[in-house]
Amino acid sequence: MNDFFTSLKSDLLDRRFLPVLAVLGVALIAAVAYAVLGSGGSSTSPTPAPSSASSGTTVTKGSVAITAAPANTGQAVAETTSGVSKHSGPSRDPFTPLPEPKAKSASSSSAKSVSSSPGGGSSPSSGSSKSTSSSGGTTPTTPLKPVAPAKKIYVHFHVTAQFGVVPAPVAGAPAQPAQLKTYTDMPLNEPLPAHEPQLVYVGVQLSNGKDAAFALTGAAILHGSATCKPSPTQCQAILLAPGQSETLEVLGATGQTTIYELKLLSVTKTVSESASTARAHGARAHTAGTGGNPKLGRALVERAGLSGLYRRYSTTVTDSERSGK
């Protein structure tokens, strides 16, 4: 063992290792000196910045800039690290509630709709006319005149027709002319013919005021230029214009065929504005001016279920009813 340390000592003291020993010694002395001086310097504490620093003073610690609080406590403190204040205007207490907007009072709104009068009272203002003058008085307004209702115009239709029996043709003999009777200003519900009605006059077509309507009271074979209503296959009434004619072949109870002919000569109208004139004409229209029986004609129409025809045909109507207004 002693031989080992003796050999090591001789090697270290060799001239080749002297520079290495010198460097190690210097490093050891520097380490001891740094330990002694560093521990003594760390006991000193930095002096705190004075609290009474003026506004705008900036202390730099490391890489962060810190701005001291201003001397005036009422001034807003900067909230940024650069020291620039973002606030404008006076500061306020955050615990004080914000003022609420005042609601419009009822008196202020009602004041717009009333105007003062000379006696100290108030009168409601009119939306249709200005009732308050500049001197505080009221100006009288002229009342509106009532609008008179529009007068009704009554239209009266006058129908003239011919109706009669056509003689049956006889072999080898010339044809005999029809025995037609003229019916002037026919009343409503006039039966044709009166003793054995085949047709009943129910008025003039309201939509055009030209065609006369005749309701069929029984079965008949029709020939001519008349128009069947409501359809050709379901003929309940026929319409004739002035100058047109229609023939009816009717089979009697004894099996004998009778031929009737109807010719419409004219349809005229008169206009009046008097209700009394209309009533007088209506009363005349329900009387048998040519020896007929309007009550019988009305009963035949109702018996055949054709009362709805009176809504489309008539003899006396107002102008608005005729035009469908």
- What tens digit of pLDDT does each residue of 124-162 get? 444 444 444 445 556 777 777 777 666 677 888 899 999
Q: Give the domain extent around 26.
A: 2-30
In a domain, 46, yes or no: no
Confidence at residue 176, expressed as pLDDT on a 0 to 100 scale: 79
Q: What is the mean pLDDT of the segment spanning 179-191?
A: 91
Find the mean pLDDT for residues 258-281. 79
User: If pLDDT is split at 50, 70 and 90, which confidence band does 322 have?
Assistant: low
Statement to judge: residues 11 and 159 lie in one domain: no
Residue 201 lies in a domain: yes
Residue 67 in any domain: the answer is: no
Q: Is the dihedral of CA 280, 282, 284, 287 positive or negative?
A: negative
Band (pLDDT 50/70/90 cuts) for residue 69 is low
* Token representation of residue 323: 């035009």
- Note whether 266 and 244 are within 8 A (CB): no
Residues 160 and 26 in one domain: no
Count of CB atoms situated within 10 Å of the CB of 299: 15
In a domain? residue 60:
no
In a domain, 112, yes or no: no
Cβ neighbourhood burial of 272 (10 Å; 0-12, 13-18, 19+): middle
Taking the alpha carbons of 102, 106, 107, 111 in that order, is the dihedral positive or negative?
A: positive
pTM over 0.75: no
Asked whether residue 212 is assigned to any structural domain, the reply reads yes
Q: Is residue 241 part of a domain?
A: yes
Does residue 22 belong to any structural domain of this protein? yes
pLDDT of residue 130: 46
Q: What is the pLDDT of residue 27?
A: 87
- How many structural domains does the chain have? 2
CB atoms within 10 A of CB 158: 16
The residue ranking higher by pLDDT, 57 or 154, is: 154
